[in-house]
Each structure stands twice: as structure tokens, then as C-alpha cells.
């Protein structure tokens, strides 16, 4: 497996350690393969022990240097830090080269139905774990010139997509943290890159509308009623079909993360995939009124039951009037 960088590659040489969290499936799982193949020493953090055991079985005895472990990092990052220290101590010439914060959770749902604890759970994984892990590993990163922190964000880090407030809030926070970290670490030559994927064919993206509908079903009846059960079922069905049509190959993201790991001067932001570059980024820089009008038209093509009246349809039409203006 090979990836093209615009500059000469930094070689793993069996001495540079790359820490990756969120390796149970999807992008993280494939990134372990790519980093190991590039001769990096990989510390792969999983949530499930079964997944960690599968990774160990895959790489042990095959000439790869992969340390696979399992832990709930929302409780403590200490077990992972211990494994990193073990990997560093195994050979005197080893150095911590990169930390890739890839773990994430998305609890979607309409904002008036999404319970406050969804924000707590989302922030715990999407922002608090990266902050704690980077805090603990920065002393080692600062000893290696050119080392880097790579935070996997999303297009939701620069544009707030509908019915996804907890996730977008967490990714906005991660990007703000990353931008500050990058400036603070410049004197130490620790580089910080932000990865911003569009909709990729991963369990997280494919499960978006299942999560959305679960939030709807679990909301109090009086909050669900104005939307209507049939409306919600149709929205879920149509939404799932749309996602299946627009998802991109997650290897696009893996290639960009590998570029961030191996380039001598990695980009500060990586827009991953055509949708991120040519839809979401241009949409994010439109005037606010026009952007909001486009988002509501995309997210709510049919009015909920309580608005499916002449007066309600007029309100919806007014909210997207920016699109029809000359």
C-alpha cells in the first residue's frame, strides 16, 4: 500500500512511533494497516478487547511492530500512555512521532429532541479524550523535532449541519483546540494537522439516520407529536438512501492522514473528498442567510405534520426565500 505525498516522505524506519485511537473499525482500522506497512511502530487503541485481539493476531509474527490495546479512554487515558511508554522503552532509539486522534461518536437528532446528556457523551469522546491524551504525550512529542498531532475532525468542524448539534459542537471545539495547539507548539516544531472528511463509507456515517431515528423514538411524546411518526420514518428512510448514494471511500481519509504523518511539512487542514472540497466548504463561506436557507431545504424537504398546513408551508417557504431571490 502506498500513498503519494507532495514532498519527500518521512520514513518510519522501525523507530518512529505513531499512536492511533479509534481502531476498532473504519478509518482507524485501515490506518493501522497503512502506518504499519510504512514501517512505523504503531500503538493502536481500541474500545473492544475483541477488536484489539484481532489486531494483535493480524500483525504479530509478520514483521510488523504493532502494539494493540483496549480501554475506555473516557475513563482514563493512562492505560494507553503506559503502552506508549512501553513501546518507547523497548528500543533506545525509538521516538514518539505522531498522535492521531481518530476516535469519535455521533449521536444525531433534532435539537429539540436531543437530550442534554448526548452532548456530555459526545464531548467526552470527541474533545476531552484528545485533549487529555495530547496533554500527557506532549512532553515526549516536544523532544522530537517535526513530530505532530493529527486530529480527525469533520466538515462539521467548519459548518454546522442540521440535526447534529452535539457532534458539530464537539468538532468545532476540536478545531478550535487544534488551531490554538498548533500556534503554541510552533516554537517546539510540533506540527498540528486537522483532518476534515466529508461523508465516508464508515459505520459512523452509515449509522447517522439510525441514531437520528433512535433519538426521535426516545423523545417525550409531546415533543415528537408536532413532527409526526410517519414524517420521521420517511425522513429516516430517505436520509439513509441519500447517505448510501453520497458516501466516499474512507481510504481517501487514510491517504490524507498518512500524508499528515509522512510529509515533512503537513498541511494545517485536509479537506477529504470531493463533497468536502466542492460542496461543504463553499457552502460554509456563503452569507449566513443563504447558507441557512440551503441547509434547511436540504434537511427538511417536507414540512413536519404541525407545519403541513397553508400557514405552516408559508413559514417554511419564507425560511428558504434566500434561494429564490434574484
Same domain, 301 and 175: no
Q: Would you say residue 280 lies in a domain?
A: yes
One domain for residues 32 and 144: yes
Mean local confidence (pLDDT), 92-117: 97
% the chain with pLDDT above 70 = 92
What are the pLDDT digits (tens) for 262-286? 999 999 999 999 889 999 999 999 9
* Range in 182-186, 306-310, 311-315 the model is least confident about: 311-315
* Residue 3: per-residue pLDDT: 44
- pLDDT confidence of residue 122: 98
Q: Are residues 167 and 42 in the same domain?
A: yes
pLDDT at residue 33 in the model: 96
Retrieve residue 199's grid coordinates.
461523508
Range of the domain at 75: 16-201+248-285
- Please say if the pLDDT value at position 18 is more than 80: yes
Q: Which long-range contacts (CB under 8 A, 24 or more apart) does 178-181 make?
A: 178/149, 178/151, 178/153, 181/134, 181/149
pLDDT at 318 over 70: no
Using CA of residue 256, residue 260, residue 261, residue 262, what is the dihedral sign?
A: positive
pLDDT at 303: 85
Task: Write out pLDDT tens, residues 25-50.
Answer: 999 999 999 999 999 999 999 999 99
Averaged pLDDT score across all residues of the chain:
92
Give Cα 181 to chain centroid, integer Å.
18
CB atoms within 10 A of CB 95: 16
Which residues are paired to 99 by β-bridges? 19, 149
Given this model, what pLDDT does residue 323 score?
Answer: 52
Confidence of residue 245 (pLDDT cuts 50, 70, 90): confident
In this predicted structure, what is the pLDDT of residue 300? 84
Q: What is the 3-state secondary structure (H, E, C) of 226-237?
A: CCCHHHHHHHHH
Judge if 142 and 258 occupy the same domain. yes
Domain CATH code at residue 267 = 3.40.50.720
* Same domain as 313, residue 180: no
Q: What is the pTM of this model?
A: 0.91
Residue 210 belongs to some domain of the structure: no
Range with the lowest mean pLDDT among 5-19, 24-38, 145-159, 275-289? Answer: 5-19
pLDDT at 4 over 70: no
Confidence check: pLDDT of 2 > 50: no
Do residues 308 and 179 share a domain?
no
Burial annotation 254-287 (CB, 10 A radius, 16+ → b, else e): bbbbbbbbbbeebeeebbbbebbeebbbebeeee
Residues in the chain: 326
Residue with the bigger pLDDT between 37 and 325: it is 37
Distance from chain centroid for Cα 22:
10
Same domain, 274 and 313: no
Q: Do 315 and 253 reside in the same domain of the chain?
A: no
| Residue in the block written with cell 407545519 | 307
Number of domains the chain is built from: 2
Lowest mean pLDDT, pick from 187-196, 228-237, 291-300, 309-318: 309-318
Q: Are residues 300 and 276 in the same domain?
A: no
Q: Is 260 a member of any domain?
A: yes
pLDDT of 17 > 80? The answer is yes
Amino acid at each position: 500500500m502506498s500513498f503519494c505525498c507532495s514532498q519527500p516522505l518521512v520514513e518510519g524506519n522501525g523507530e518512529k512511533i505513531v499512536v492511533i485511537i479509534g481502531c476498532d473499525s473504519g478509518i482507524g482500522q485501515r490506518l493501522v494497516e497503512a502506518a504499519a506497512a510504512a514501517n512505523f511502530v504503531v500503538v493502536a487503541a481500541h474500545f473492544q478487547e475483541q477488536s484489539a485481539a484481532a489486531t494483535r493476531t493480524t500483525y504479530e509474527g509478520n514483521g510488523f511492530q504493532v502494539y494493540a490495546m483496549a480501554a475506555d479512554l473516557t475513563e482514563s487515558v493512562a492505560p494507553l500512555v503506559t503502552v506508549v511508554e512501553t513501546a518507547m522503552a523497548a528500543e533506545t532509539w525509538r521516538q514518539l512521532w505522531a498522535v492521531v486522534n481518530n476516535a469519535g461518536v455521533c449521536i444525531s437528532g433534532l435539537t429539540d429532541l436531543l437530550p442534554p446528556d448526548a452532548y456530555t457523551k459526545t464531548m467526552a469522546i470527541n474533545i476531552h479524550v484528545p485533549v487529555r491524551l495530547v496533554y500527557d504525550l506532549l512532553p515526549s512529542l516536544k523532544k522530537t523535532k517535526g513530530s505532530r498531532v493529527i486530529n480527525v475532525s469533520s466538515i462539521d468542524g467548519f459548518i454546522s449541519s442540521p440535526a447534529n448539534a452535539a457532534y458539530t459542537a464537539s468538532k468545532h471545539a476540536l478545531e478550535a483546540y487544534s488551531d490554538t495547539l498548533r500556534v503554541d507548539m510552533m516554537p517546539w516544531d510540533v506540527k498540528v494537522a486537522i483532518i476534515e472528511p466529508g461523508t465516508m463509507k464508515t459505520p459512523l456515517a452509515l449509522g447517522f439516520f439510525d441514531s437520528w431515528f433512535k433519538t426521535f423514538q426516545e423523545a417525550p411524546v409531546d415533543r415528537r407529536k408536532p413532527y409526526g411518526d410517519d414524517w420521521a420514518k420517511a425522513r429516516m428512510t430517505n436520509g439513509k438512501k441519500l447517505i448510501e448514494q453520497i458516501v466516499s471511500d474512507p481510504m481517501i481519509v487514510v491517504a490524507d492522514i498518512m500524508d499528515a504523518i509522512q510529509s515533512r511539512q503537513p498541511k494545517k487542514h485536509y479537506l477529504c473528498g470531493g463533497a468536502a472540497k466542492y460542496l461543504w466548504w463553499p457552502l460554509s463561506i456563503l452569507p449566513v442567510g443563504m447558507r441557512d436557507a440551503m441547509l434547511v431545504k436540504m434537511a427538511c424537504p417536507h414540512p413536519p405534520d404541525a407545519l403541513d398546513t397553508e400557514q405552516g408551508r408559508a413559514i417554511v417557504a419564507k425560511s428558504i426565500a434566500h434561494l429564490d431571490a434574484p
